[in-house]
Amino acid sequence: MARDGVIARYRDVQASAWGIDVPGVTTVLPTADRVIALTFDACGGPHGSGYDHALVAFLRAHGMPATLFLNSRWIDANIRVFHELAADPLFAIGNHGTSHRPLSVCGRSAYGIKGTDDAAGVFDEVTGNRDRLAALLGHPPRFFRAGTAHCDDVAVRIVADLGERVVNFDVNGDAGATFTPGQVERAVLGAKPGSIVIAHMNHPAGGTAAGMAAALPRLIDTGFRFVRLSEYVW
């Protein structure tokens, strides 16, 4: 749908829900299979454009697939790494927004980060990075996660009109890369069949890589298998 069409359709529509788990957002895989979807965000910006090489090397060494939600600013700062990740069949690339803003039709904020102001702002936040990814990958991304993972129910509908699905999580693996390795390990070991785990791949000094390296083999030992979102969500 074009920008004008989105603006016209949603101009007078009020949001009625706000947060990480609002109507229309996928937070778990629709299955009882013993599978877990690992998702790693790369948020970009002045304090978020690092690359956790140890984390990615661990996933590769163990053949563990994941879906990577990349923001435009992170891609700009890591274009060589981007191409390396995009070429690796272990990983699928998702859309983590253009300016990393909460997705709101009325300017709501999350964690002090100002959200988009209206339907046009939602359109721009989603399509800026969608178009960048489509040009780089040769196809548009299927999944979207807002900066801070916060969105309202109207924004979720706009994302769907734009051909993407908002995917969040039921297991917060690293609390924005603030967890110690032990905290990451405990959080990730709480995953259940069908869980979607969020963590970050843009803070190499954090505890994420070490915590994942401790937790993920133990999940394999208890019969879990890791999958990309696209294997269970469409």
Binding-site ranges for Zn ion (CB under 5 A): 41, 43
99 vs 195, beta carbon nearer Zn ion: 99
41 vs 152, beta carbon nearer Zn ion: 41
Q: Least distance (Å) from Zn ion to the CB of residue 77?
A: 14
Q: Least distance (Å) from Zn ion to the CB of residue 218?
A: 27
Q: Identify the CA nearest to 107 among candidates 18, 25, 189.
A: 18
**Backbone Cα Rg of the chain:** 17
What angle, 0 to 180 degrees and rounded to 10, lies between the N-to-C axes of helices 3-10 and 119-137?
150
Task: Name every residue whose Cβ is closer than 8 Å to that of residue 78 and which is 6 or more positions away in sequence.
Answer: 42, 49, 51
Residue 138 main-chain phi, psi, to 5 deg: 90, 0
123 vs 144, beta carbon nearer Zn ion: 144
Question: Quick count: other Cβ atoms within 10 Å of Cβ 230?
Answer: 14
Measured at CB, which residue is nearest to Zn ion? 43
Q: Identify the CA nearest to 24 among candidates 205, 146, 131, 111.
A: 146
Q: Least distance (Å) from Zn ion to the CB of residue 223?
A: 31
110 vs 227, beta carbon nearer Zn ion: 110
Contact yes or no for 77/49 (Cβ under 8 A): yes
Q: Least distance (Å) from Zn ion to the CB of residue 26?
A: 17
What is the Cα–Cα distance from 72 to 91, expressed in whole angstroms? 17
6 vs 43, beta carbon nearer Zn ion: 43
41 vs 174, beta carbon nearer Zn ion: 41
Contact yes or no for 57/81 (Cβ under 8 A): no
Q: Least distance (Å) from Zn ion to the CB of residue 38?
A: 15
Q: Least distance (Å) from Zn ion to the CB of residue 41?
A: 4
